[in-house]
Amino acid sequence: MTCHPLNVNADEATAAAKQLSPLDKLGSALVKQLMKVVDEGVGPITSSRDYAEARLAQFGDPEKAIKRIVAETTASSAMAGFATGLGGFITLPVTLPANITGQAILNARMVGAIAHLRGWDLQDELVRNSVLITIAGGTPNAVLAEFGVTVARKSAEAAIKKLPITIVREINKRVGFMLVAKYGTKRSVVTLSKLVPGIGGVVGGAVDATFTRLVGRLARKSFPALAPAVDVAE
């Protein structure tokens, strides 16, 4: 099941979309497409859950699986051709360099996989926002605290239902803006788009890999291992 990035019905979502600026629309599209990567995968990239379970089956330990996932994703980010090939699998209202969207895809799957292996529910709305914030290089608790929200396994679903719809929209807007700032602005394009003559591909790949490694560290910190819930008989 894929959750709508806004916790509203279809009519309200459509009305809200008509009021979005081009920047907001790009942010909203990035949110939708990257969560599709987490939930379903795109092209040759499997979903976060499938990727996590495959590595867990291979290594038999969640932390070893996470270490391998970060290493594999970092290596893939450094391969300019691989990341660029992935970029064509998502559709956005504004065309971004394929290597940048490709890196976003890789980072999205990695963060979702780490959260899943640590016991977090990828269908929980606040967890999903936390995944997106981490993909953008942010710290979920710090960002969500600005809205008076604390990410907690048991309380997240109840908390999102209690929040006014205006706050829910602002959280999603902030998350979208963070993604655009990291993957869709002129600054990020200059940073990541292999524009250095002669050695651009090497420099760009190194920058991509460095950021992916950073996102991996943030994910491990933002999604600590949760003990499984235990039902105690009365």
Using CA atoms, how far apart are residues 97 and 190, in angstroms rounded to an integer? 10
**What proportion of the chain, given as a percentage, has pLDDT over 90?**
32
Nearest to 183 by CA among 34, 78, 48: 34
Buried-state track 80-101, b at ≥16 Cβ within 10 A, e below 16 = bebbbebbebbebeeebbbbbb
C-alpha span between 230 and 218 (Å, rounded)? 28
pLDDT at residue 6, as a whole number: 40
Q: Is the pLDDT of residue 100 over 70?
A: yes
pLDDT (tens digit per residue) in 13-50: 455 445 557 777 888 888 888 999 999 998 889 999 99
- 57: buried, middle or exposed (CB in 10 Å: 19+, 13-18, 0-12)? exposed
Number of other residues whose CB lies within 10 A of the CB of residue 44: 9
Which pLDDT tens digit goes with each residue over 43-90?
889 999 999 999 999 999 999 999 999 999 999 888 755 666 665 666
Q: How far apart are the C-alpha atoms of 209 and 11, rounded to whole Å? A: 41
* Token pair 């991996």: residue: 216
pLDDT-based confidence at 96, cuts 50/70/90? low
Q: Is the pLDDT of residue 9 over 70?
A: no
Q: How many CA atoms lie within 13 A of 34 on its CB side?
A: 34
Residue 141 near residue 151 (C-beta atoms within 8 A): yes
